[in-house]
Amino acid sequence: MVWLLAEDAALKTKLTGLSVTGSAVEGPIPVDVRVSVPEDEFADFTYPLIMITQASVERAPERESRGFVEIETLPEGYDPAGGPYFADVPVPHDIDYQVVLYTRLTQHRTELVAKLAAFPYLPERFGFLDMANDLTVRRLDLLGGPDMGSGRDKDNKRLFTATYRIRVSTELFTLGDPVTFPQVQTVDIEMHDRVPGQPPG
């Protein structure tokens, strides 16, 4: 999966599987998770809902380094079996997201905010993002929130919101095509006798 789409998918996976308390009859209510581009243009929303939106993508010069690094996420046309592949001069980026909770009830908003504060989701410190496409773990920082608010849906029904701002660390390899180096197959060793007192030869 390509850069940016891979991070979107990983964040959606991370926040999927939550639920809020329902009635004794209906049981727990699952929380829908969507990435706003392009799904929200035609989706019929159900609530509770978590909406993920890319806010910005910026170069992160404080994390820059030089040299070849092994990469797992390959551009189109590269055979993963032909690797390992390396790329020179990775360019680190920060992807900032806005994550908004939408609920019909204030108690559901409170319940979700409490759950998202736990370590596996959006903790105040040491957040992480598992990347299924390359089996790496990225840094995830909570920049702000949750900011509580309210609004109306298209039918003028009340919605309660909680807004987070988060940052995911990532890298883009733009300064050179991925390359691979021949693997060592055999090692030839030559051994010679040496007469004591004689120079090697």
pLDDT, tens digit, 9 for 90 and up, residues 51-90: 999 999 999 988 877 666 677 666 667 777 777 777 766 7
- Beta-strand ranges (E) seen in the chain are 19-20, 29-30, 32-35, 49-59, 68-71, 85-88, 91-103, 127-131, 136-152, 158-172, 179-180
Boundaries of domain holding 53: 5-62+104-180
Residue 158 inside a domain? The answer is yes
pTM of this prediction?
0.76
Q: Residue 85 domain-assigned?
A: no
Residue 87 belongs to some domain of the structure? no
Structural domain tally of the chain? 1
Could you report the per-residue pLDDT of 128-171, keeping only the tens digit for each? 999 987 778 999 999 999 999 999 888 889 999 999 999 999 87
Residue 94 within any structural domain of the chain: no
For residue 12, being part of any structural domain is answered with yes
Query: Is residue 89, in this structure, part of any structural domain at all?
Result: no
Which structure tokens are listed for 102?
A: 């939408």
- 109 within domain boundaries: yes
d(CA 126, CA 120): 10
197 domain residue, yes or no: no
